[in-house]
Amino acid sequence: MKNVFSDKASIIAREMLAKPDRTWVLRDFVGAGRVSLGMAQGVLAAMQEMGCLERLKKGPASYSKLTDRELLLAEWVKWYKFSANTRHSYYTPHADFLKRLKKALPEDKYALTLHTGANLITGHVNTDETYVYLRLGNWAEELPRLREKLELKKLAQGGNVHFIRPFYRVGAFHEIQTINGFSIVSALQLYLDLYNFQPRGRDHAEYLKETVERKGGLLA
> What pLDDT digit, counting tens, does each position of 42-82 carry?
999 999 999 999 999 877 788 999 999 999 999 999 999 99
- pLDDT the model gives residue 31: 84
Ordered by where they begin, the domains of the chain are 10-78 (1.10.10), 82-214 (3.30.460)
Q: How confident is the model at residue 1 (pLDDT cuts 50, 70, 90)?
A: low
| Average pLDDT, rounded, for the chain | 95
| CA gap 217, 134 in Å, rounded | 26
- pLDDT the model gives residue 58: 78
What is the distance, to the nearest Å, from the Cα of residue 23 to the centroid of all Cα atoms in its chain? 24
| CA gap 44, 46 in Å, rounded | 5
β 161-165/130-134 pair status: parallel
| CA gap 1, 41 in Å, rounded | 11
pTM: 0.95
Give the residue among 165, 218, 214 at the shortest CA–CA distance from 190: 218
> What pLDDT digit, counting tens, does each position of 89-129 carry?
999 999 999 999 999 999 999 999 999 999 999 999 999 99
pLDDT exceeds cutoff 90 at 33: no
pLDDT exceeds cutoff 70 at 30: yes
